[in-house]
Structure 1
């Protein structure tokens, strides 16, 4: 270029660095975006699946950290640690899982940075790009994100009031030859449904017969408000060789700890351990030590009973308010536990279009479309009842009813 010649902006502009293609098609979570509403005190949000902060065992957790940091081994709690996790914490978890029918030892478990990391590790170890993952329709939104980010082709399987249909599952397994099947069988997110024992046994048997990994995500299993406990998938006959059970401290202790775990067959654990080493070396040493101390000294069963009592009242307040709040022709679930009620408005209603009007009325929910791997039912929405008192829930449902009155 001759001296003094004009230089175009295109010549001066440097090339733009590219993003990885794996992010293509992985949508942002509307739930995470709606959490910003927590900064607006007037909004009654039924959107986030948040435990009630006033029910956290703050004194017990504070005492647990004090016990760790004032112990002779305090400096060890600030050091690097084994990838598999704190042995004392794994022993506590193994004992609780054994009591629920899943005979477990310390060596069956891997501590993770929240149960979400457990799903990421499983996707890393079991899902190659282009592999098929079968899921309920609808299912947990963050699991969809996780499997999509791994490059999986996520295929929905039909469900009914008892969860995934075994006949539809077997047909999908024969057709798709999946790498794994992912389920939230107890108080499911988003529907609140629970798979009955007979169906659990059938699902475990057919996945075993076809040689398919079965991942059981169970963050809500200890939050039952009525009825009798149902044995986890991992406790069913034939489960030992192919069922992975994923759990979390977020709903029974506090989500800010970011602690979860997975229980996996022995042949799978080495691969998951390597995946975790590559991800973060190990979960926070001090947080694991504090959680172990909390389990050792706190009255965990009394704490859980307190949670169940409070959440039962909140669930009842929401379910009791639904007939007056929803338009004629609506349907909803009445969960036996967990955190969510799933609503379907009359056909033709798009809940995503209703959300701005709801926010203007200072009430929030999650439109249901984001929970579908396939064609979404846009008339659906998810409501979480755990965060607010019964009185606050009643007020929020009144506001929601006003918004929905024109449907």
Structure 2
């Protein structure tokens, strides 16, 4: 009996061990299964990620292809526009400048120095040539649209920029186009070219275009408020090309014709830049400097007569009087006329009397009153000698 009980106990013990072994086996199988399922999930996720990456790469490839197609269309469009631009303006720089179409020339001998436009060369192109070229440019503007032409000023292709700025400069030579050019952002684009370009041709033509825009009083204020005088002065510092200097000097000379801008013009280095450019020795540059000083002096003189300005001229601090006296008799007739006008207007201001007396300027005014080839200038010199009491006292001391 005891033997049976022992056998039964061992049997139960074996059953428990077997049951435990089954449970352990089932647990191991379950863990193995979970592990395999986990590994499958990881592989599935990896495959899904690879698929997503492949889809993304495919989309990016399509985007690149699309951009290339767009860029190709833009390139062809620019090439077509460049062809049109080249047809509108001569390919050779000399031909373009000789026609002088983007800088209007003052041909009225009796007109004042105040606010006169400037030209590229002293020789006048034929009326038919100018008319034909302007008609071509007007047609181009109609076909392409002014906005599109102005956009080409920001092109990364310097050849496109060069031809575009020539067209804009031609358009700016016409009073009827100037307001539209400014409204469409043309002035800002031209100033940006002065700021960023190192191309001599672009700097020259852009300065010429700004000079034409500066014939308008409203535009003068906009040019100054956007740092135009300082940019023009900086342009003069980074080139020794006489024609570029002439364009810059012409633009500054036009700005000198607005008395309200005088202080800002001086503070931004405009007057100093004019006198520095005169050292180039180019007669064309000297002519524009003289015109600018005449414009400036006439505005000051008018302000004094109207009673809203007094005191020493702003030109005195930068040495303009010394330069005028030293060069008045050694220049062409037209340039000499501007210098004589500048001296006579400055001489009417009693605030400048001490400078005139100490520098020999008074003697120059006396000479002009007798020797000037222009009767109106001789009379202006006599008036200065008469109205400036300090001159009268000095001469009769």
TM-score interval for Structure 1 and Structure 2 normalised by the shorter chain: under 0.3
The structure, 1 or 2, with the larger RCO (C-alpha pairs under 8 Å, 6+ apart) is: 1
Point out the structure with the larger strand share: 1
Q: What is the TM-score normalised by the length of structure 1?
A: 0.27
Point out the structure with the larger helix share: 2
| Greater Rg over alpha carbons, structure | 2
